[in-house]
A and B are shown apart, each in its own frame.
Chain A
Amino acid sequence: MSIETLSGALLAHGNYWIVIGLMMTGLYVVIDRGNLVKKIIGLNIFQTSVFMLYISMGKIDGGTAPILDQALGRTYSNPLPHVLILTAIVVGVATTALGLALVVRIKEAYGTIEEDEILAIEHGEDDR
């Protein structure tokens, strides 16, 4: 494969590469990090990748903003994915707020927000 075809393939699907990169980064952070706030950040990155997937999906070559005006026959980008993702963003904000609220309560109850330390405290309780 020559450099041209390779870069062509990369550029033609540029948005997908970004989405996949963000998605994997987010999932990795959620799984690997023990800090609960970092888990929430990872979750946010993961969700953002999906927002990007939807928003880039609605783009049509040469399409303008989908606002109705007098000139007919213009190409518009598809606004539906954007509207859908507006809902998903709101859901994401709610999830983040709830997650952080739980982290605050965990910090107050356990004195730490590191997963391994919390687990150690819980195991200690079980053994007693």
Chain B
Amino acid sequence: MSQLLKVAEAAAHGVTESATHTAQHAAHAATPSLSLLGDNLPALAIVVPLLAAPLVALMIRPALAWSLAALAGLTTLAVTGGLLARVLDSGPIVYAVGGWAGPWGIEYRIDTLSAGMLVLVAGIGAVSLLYARASVAREIPPARASLFYSLMLLCLTGLLGMCISGDVFNVFVFLEISSLSSYALIGLGSTRRAFTAAFNYLILGTIGATFYVIGIGLLYMMTGSLNMADLATLVPAQMDTTTVQMAIAFLAVGLSLKAALFPLHLWLPNAYAYAPSVVTAFLAATATKVSIYVLVRFVFTVFGGTGLLVLEGPLGLSAGTLICVLALAGVVVASLSAIYQEDAKRLLAYSSVAQVGYMLLGVGLASPAGLSAGLIHVFNHALIKFALFLAVGAVVWRTGSAHMAALAGAGKRMPWTMAAFVIAGLSLIGVPGTVGFVSKWMLLQAALAQQLWLVAGLILFTSLLAVVYVWKMIEAAYFRPVPEGGPEIAEAPLSLRLPLWLVALACIYFGLDASGPVGIAETATRTLLEGGA
């Protein structure tokens, strides 16, 4: 490309007739030609899982379906990794789907934040698919296995699409692709309660998604645009109209519902508790995070950043303060609820609601430090909860239950699994040397920098609550006697332990050397606060 520019430059200076001719020729040949692996990388991130999903559905033998799905997952991870490297190297990428440029066509717009999210989601998707083989063989009837993998890939497509798209309606379409497949995935759980959990999630999720559509409809009414970057330039002039303010309200409520912000979290505990183990691990580490990403995208890219958050609203409350209050209330209430749970999956689900509170607290602080802390917590918590749910999934694989009674004695009988569980549990509390510490420390510093003593105190207090509920599980696993006369329980198979340990080691690695993710989060914060993608 740079060579081409040089030739064109030479031609512009009118060196010789033939040089001009060469340049024109070169330009003509080069314009329509995009290389598959270079310029089409953004499309491939979506196309690989999307194309693999129907292929996997056509496979009759579960083993074949799994191999193809896992291969697709790994390929997607490689593609998103390439995208991240490129973005870090040479700045944001804009990709026009179908060759139709924005603001009329659908644009994929990848900046540091979206590239980071893509790698996170694709990485978790790939590891879940690797883990899935043994887990699915135990929890899903073989006749449905290939459809199960197909749904996982579709869900992955939807979540990746939400991160990559720069078109607000396209985001809705991807949101529904991921939501519809996750309702079905949750409904595949082994007890009948999975049906009611999936049904409740379907009702609330659809209301959330419909609120989102109303919001973008109102925005379209005022601006005539659906492109995020274009909206960012058009919205400020309309900011004072009731229509745009209503749009913000609808978008905030709809996306908070999908992100399970307290008090809109009621669908989450049951959905996570009764879904198949792989689905719980995959969704807990990605679904709510991606919704938070979209919310952050709207607040900072479309609605022009912190101005919206510090804007004085009714009762003298700014939107940022409101988010902080709800987030902290969520952290406290959900942590307290987690302490009283007797089912490990349900306990961890409540803990997820609490952790969503920390992420949004960072956003609500409306400072660069707070936002980076919130974003880095999205990454860290994804790793932590993923490891915890993978470990619980391994216990479920052996004992068929995630109840505290099923955990009893697991520390002796499944030492490897439970050791990884302990590492992730310590991260969840925020012990130094683990990822959990990095983000809580940053969050604490952000709160202290704004002299919000109460907020800082609550962060410390809720960490103590985390100690209580994590201890509850560890106590059951290590200090309760092995039940007498029960079935013989051995260590989980290697195909479950390897992915689990991979994630657990990542929890330590990124806790000791957090420069990679923190650097990405800080760059992302800078671009977000400067406005524009």
Residue numbers of A with Cβ under 8 A of B are 27, 30, 36, 39, 43, 46-47, 50, 53-54, 57, 81, 84, 87-88, 91, 94-95, 98-99, 102-103, 105-106, 109-110, 118, 122
Contacts and interface: CB of A to CB of B under 8 A. Distances in A.
B203 A118 contact: no
Given A102-B195, A122-B193, A54 B217 contact: yes
Contacts of B187: 102, 105
Given A53-B217, A91-B176, A99 B202 contact: yes
Contact of A99 (B176, B199, B214): B199
B478 interface: no
Given A54-B217, A81-B220, A87-B173, A122 B207 contact: no
B217 A50 contact: yes
A38 to B, nearest CB: 11
B439 to A, nearest CB: 35
Interface residues of B, number: 25
A46 B207 contact: yes
B471 interface: no
Contacts of B298: none
- A interface majority secondary structure: helix
Interface of B: 169, 172-173, 176, 180, 183-184, 187, 192-193, 195-196, 198-199, 202-203, 206-207, 209-210, 213-214, 217, 220-221
Given A91-B173, A95-B202, A122-B196, 20 more contacts: A27-B207, A30-B203, A39-B203, A43-B207, A50-B213, A57-B217, A57-B221, A88-B213, A91-B209, A94-B180, A95-B176, A98-B180, A98-B184, A102-B195, A102-B198, A105-B187, A105-B192, A105-B195, A106-B192, A110-B196
Nearest to B177: A91
Contacts of B203: 30, 39, 43, 99
A47 B172 CA distance: 14
A64 to B, nearest CB: 20
A47 B210 contact: yes
Q: Which 6 A-B pairs have the closest CB atoms?
A: A109-B192, A102-B199, A91-B176, A106-B195, A105-B195, A95-B206
